[in-house]
Chains A and B, each alone.
Chain A
Amino acid sequence: MSDCYINGIASISAQPTTDPDTFLEDIISHKESIFRSHDPNYKEFIKPAAMRRMSKSVKMGVTAASMALNNSGVDMPDAIITGTGMGCKQDSEKFLENVLNNDEQFLTPTLFIQSTHNTVGGQVALGLGCKAYNVTYVQGAASFEASVMDAQLMLSEESGKNILVGGIDEVAKNSTLLHKLDGQIKDDDINVIDLLDSETSGTVASEGATFMVLGGQKTEKSIAKLIDVETVSAAKPDEIKIYIEKFITQNKLSIDDIDAVVLGNNGDVIYDNYYKNLQSSIFSKIEQLGYKHLIGDYHVASSFGFWLGCKVFKTNHVPDVLKVNDITAKKYDNILLYNQYLGKNHSIALLQRC
């Protein structure tokens, strides 16, 4: 397999993460179980006329894409691959409610046009005038990783390409609230910073977008090498342990080579067992980092882990707020990411200093 480098990355999340010179020094403390992203100044990236029609997903996506491209020095990508769990949920929800509440009458096309899952991918392509390969993956918590896998496959076919890969998900008022009814989101508001110590089921929901530019060649902008990514649709906790061990071996490393693990613990007392089972066994001697007590959970929240890994390589430093055990690595060369949601759509990824 050919090499894959992260040559640019940007993330919009519920924390101030768009300033390249900071790394989670100032934390916003969220107190509700559903909270929104911390928005950059979208006007710097999107013309006002275009912005009026844009839903949150499109604004976040187009902006993060633009930041990642700037960051990488690539003007025109050779492919645009996006991942999203719920797609443009705000416009879908509004259109659906209009259909249901007005007995299928008095409808206008704009909401429907912007409701498709590939709206962000299409809008990024339109904005850039990019006629290249364009695909959108919609696979729950593995949506972003499915996109990364496609990009990696594409670089193995043609290593000269620069590929824009992104994950986007937004909060939609009523559809997100429904996740309280079926137990995906905690009933009561909590101090989100304490999320990982929660003793109840469900998690907290938010939104965000992470885009990165992947290339087959190391450039002066390269931040990290993406060694491998794998997704597993369904597995039990002990099976996941085997998957991870196999994944590390396949990439010719041993567990001792891993300097830090970035985990997707989301404070759901039932499903966090997937992480805890690893934290107390194969990861017990490794520095462990968490992030969902800062940015909440959503289908592409795991993309934030990629941003985090890149930041650690860049700064050689892990902010205390991310640490979930007492171990501090001596160096950061190999960072392993693992995430799952409701025991499904597991993803394992390995980043390396380059």
Chain B
Amino acid sequence: MNKGIAITGMGIISSIGNTVEENLNALKSVSPGISRIEMLKTRHKDQIMVGEIKKTNDDLEKQLGLEPLHSFSRTAMIGTIAAKEALQDAQISDVNEYRTGFVSGTSVGGMDTTEKHYLGYTEIEDNRRFIQAQHAGFTTQSISNYLGINGYVSTISTACSSAANAIMLGARMIKAGKIDRMIVGGTDALSKFTINGFGTLMILSDSECTPFDDNRKGLNLGEAAAFLVLESDAVVEKENKKVLGRVAGWANANDAYHQTASSSDGEGAFLAMNEALRIADITADDIDYVNAHGTATPNNDLSEGVAMTRIFGEEKAPVFSSTKAFTGHTLAAAGSVEAVYSLLSLRENLIFPNLNFKSKMKEFSLVPQTELVSKEIKTILSNSFGFGGNCSTLIFTK
């Protein structure tokens, strides 16, 4: 087995909690964060259910100590909160002590501010500092400036697999010795742009989402940010760091089927899982639990399920669940949100349930784990897929 890259810190803010421990408590007490929209102004607020962080932008500014005229987009603020927690968790006080990089995944970046001010930029001069926020990399730089990271800073935008690809890049760069430490993850805030975009695709559910259920109606959008600190073994040894887990396998493949839809044979997902197992140097039998992408759209769950049956065999599939019914689909952040949950699963020996499941899908015999269970877990496979045919898989080990 590939030893993998050490994870020494994690941070998260989502609709089920503002810190790692709050998220764990919500997962353990089975308290999902799906509700009607309260923070964002949209005419759809009573039509759909979302995973919304119940903090106003003012709350977030105060929490970060930002002056109103230096505030960031919501995406950047929640990203900063999660990245800060990850650094604290890894007990890093001087970010420039080692060669440190920062990679964030985001789908729409500062769209939440763009859509608020877009029509008024000509009149309102004070808001023009947000014009640059329409560029996704600007969100990342708001976070990296706050953290004081000035060297390698990058943004990955592969829709809903962005954060998974950021984690993958961090692991590869450390493995190659290009860098000593990487803060990697993703952030996406709810925006009218996304809500209406997914609305036109008719894949938003008007009630709580039901991943892998035969009668699933679509997804709940969510907002979240989550980051991990990856460090080289040399740094871990020198600083005598606690290691939360390791990212031992990673892969990215393309479905090359349709710009937004997934193929019915799950080819991209199959290729990603297969290659991640190869990189981790383990077999499908070694996987104790799969944290599925499981968005609860008819298309995703079918395609992913078929790919899982191809990898594991329909009868031999390991325990799996999608945690999207807790947080909603947090888009670019999903890969890192679920990486944090995977690390918590490894630490607590718990499998977090796939909520709202009632009836098995017709197409295969796979049934997700629907109750919180305690189980010795050593190896977890986590999937993230996105528009553009992007399929990414990560493997986490103890």
Binds B, one of A20-28, A137-145, A270-278, A284-292: A137-145
B360 CB–A CB distance under 8 Å: no
Is A133 in contact with B252, judged by CB distance below 8 angstroms? yes
| A104 interface contact, C-beta 8 A | yes
B197 at the A/B interface (Cβ < 8 Å)? yes
Which residues of B are found within 8 Å of A126, using beta-carbon distances? 256-259, 389
The contact size tier of chain A is 35 or more
The bracket for how many chain B residues form the interface is 35 or more
Q: Which of A62-70, A173-181, A219-227, A319-327 contacts B (4 or more CB under 8 A)?
A: A173-181
Contact of A85 among B111, B135, B257 (CB under 8 A): B135
Interface residues of B in 151-181 (CB under 8 A from A): 151-159, 165, 169, 172-173, 176, 178
B176 near A233 (CB under 8 angstroms)? no
Closest CB in chain B relative to A346 CB, distance in Å:
10
0 or 1 for each of A86-124: is its CB under 8 Å from B? (1 = yes): 110000100111011001110111001111111101110
B267→A118 contact, CB < 8 A: no
Q: Which of B130-158 contact A (CB under 8 A)?
A: 131-132, 134-138, 140-141, 144-145, 149-158
Determine the chain A residues whose CB is within 8 A of the CB of B257 once the complex forms. Answer: 126
| Contact residues in B for A119 (Cβ distance below 8 Å) | 259, 388
**B277 vs chain A, min Cβ distance (A):** 16
* Interface 9-mer from A149-157, A192-200, A309-317: A149-157
Of A104, A116, A137, A234, which one neighbours B196 at CB under 8 angstroms?
A: A104
Instruction: Assess whether A74 is interfacial by the CB under 8 Å rule.
Output: no
B154/A142 in contact, CB under 8 A: yes
Cβ of A131 and Cβ of B253 under 8 Å apart? yes
Chain A residues 148-184 with CB under 8 Å of chain B are 150, 153, 156-157, 175, 178-179, 181-182, 184
> Which of B144, B156, B176, B390 is in CB contact (< 8 Å) with A138?
B156
Q: Which residue of A lies closest to B175 (CB)?
A: A157
Looking at the complex, which one of B153, B169, B201 makes contact with A113 (CB distance below 8 Å)?
A: B201
A80 in the interface, Cβ–Cβ < 8 Å?
A: yes
Which of B128, B138, B271 is in CB contact (< 8 Å) with A131? B271
A-B contact count (CB 8 A): 189
Please measure, in the bound complex, the distance between the C-alpha atom of A31 and the C-alpha atom of B1, giving whole angstroms. Answer: 61
Task: Check if B192 sits within 8 Å of A138, measured CB to CB.
Answer: no
Is the Cβ of B154 less than 8 Å from the Cβ of A146? yes
Query: Within the assembled complex, what's the spacing in Å between the Cα atoms of A128 and B196?
Result: 31
A100 to B389, CA, bound (A): 29
Contact (Cβ within 8 A) B256 A87? no
User: Residue B365 at the A interface, CB < 8 A?
Assistant: no
B154 is contacted by which of A114, A117, A139, A179 (Cβ under 8 Å)?
A139
* Least Cβ–Cβ distance between A138 and chain B, in angstroms: 4
B141 near A153: Cβ-Cβ < 8 Å: no
In the complex, what residue of chain A is closest to B168 when comparing beta carbons?
Answer: A135
Chain A interface secondary structure, helix, strand, loop or mixed?
mixed
A217 to chain B, nearest CB (A): 19
Q: Which of A105, A135, A142 has the largest number of chain B CB atoms within 10 A?
A: A135
Q: For residue B138, which residue of chain A has the nearest CB? A: A140
Residues of A within 8 A of B42 (CB): 104
A345: chain B residues at CB < 8 Å are 137
Q: Does B122 contact A (CB under 8 A)?
A: yes
Contact of B254 among A99, A130, A139, A233 (CB under 8 A): A130
What is the distance, in angstroms, from A168's C-beta to the closest C-beta of chain B? 13
A136 within 8 A of B: yes
Q: Once the chains bind, are A136 and B157 in contact (CB under 8 Å)?
A: yes
Residues of A within 8 A of B176 (CB): 153, 156-157
A353 interfacial by beta-carbon distance below 8 Å? no
Q: Which chain A residues border B115 with CB–CB below 8 Å?
A: 96, 99-100
List, in ascending order, chain A residues with CB within 8 A of B155's CB.
Answer: 137-139
- In the complex, what residues of A have CB within 8 A of residue B141's CB? 140, 233-234, 344
**B158–A118 CB distance below 8 A:** yes
Known contacts A99-B115, A122-B388, A125-B389: A134-B199 contact under CB 8 Å: no
Quick check: A116 and B169 within 8 Å, CB to CB? no
Residue numbers in A under 8 Å from B135 (CB-CB): 85-86, 138, 140, 299
Query: Are B253 and A133 closer than 8 Å at their CB atoms?
Result: yes
Q: Which of these, B137, B169, B200, B256, contacts A112 with CB under 8 Å?
A: B200
Which residues of B are in contact with A by a Cβ distance under 8 Å?
A: 42-44, 102, 106-107, 109, 111, 114-115, 118-119, 121-122, 128-129, 131-132, 134-138, 140-141, 144-145, 149-159, 165, 169, 172-173, 176, 178, 192-193, 196-201, 251-260, 267-268, 271, 386-390
Residue contacts A-B, CB under 8 angstroms, 14 given:
A85-B137, A86-B134, A95-B196, A96-B193, A97-B118, A99-B115, A104-B44, A105-B43, A131-B253, A140-B137, A153-B172, A157-B176, A178-B134, A233-B150
Question: Chain A interface (Cβ within 8 Å of chain B)?
Answer: 80, 85-87, 92, 95-97, 99-100, 103-105, 107-109, 112-119, 121-123, 125-126, 128-140, 142-143, 146, 150, 153, 156-157, 175, 178-179, 181-182, 184, 231-235, 299, 344-345
- The 8 closest A-B CB pairs, nearest first, are A122-B388, A112-B197, A233-B153, A117-B157, A109-B200, A118-B388, A182-B131, A139-B137
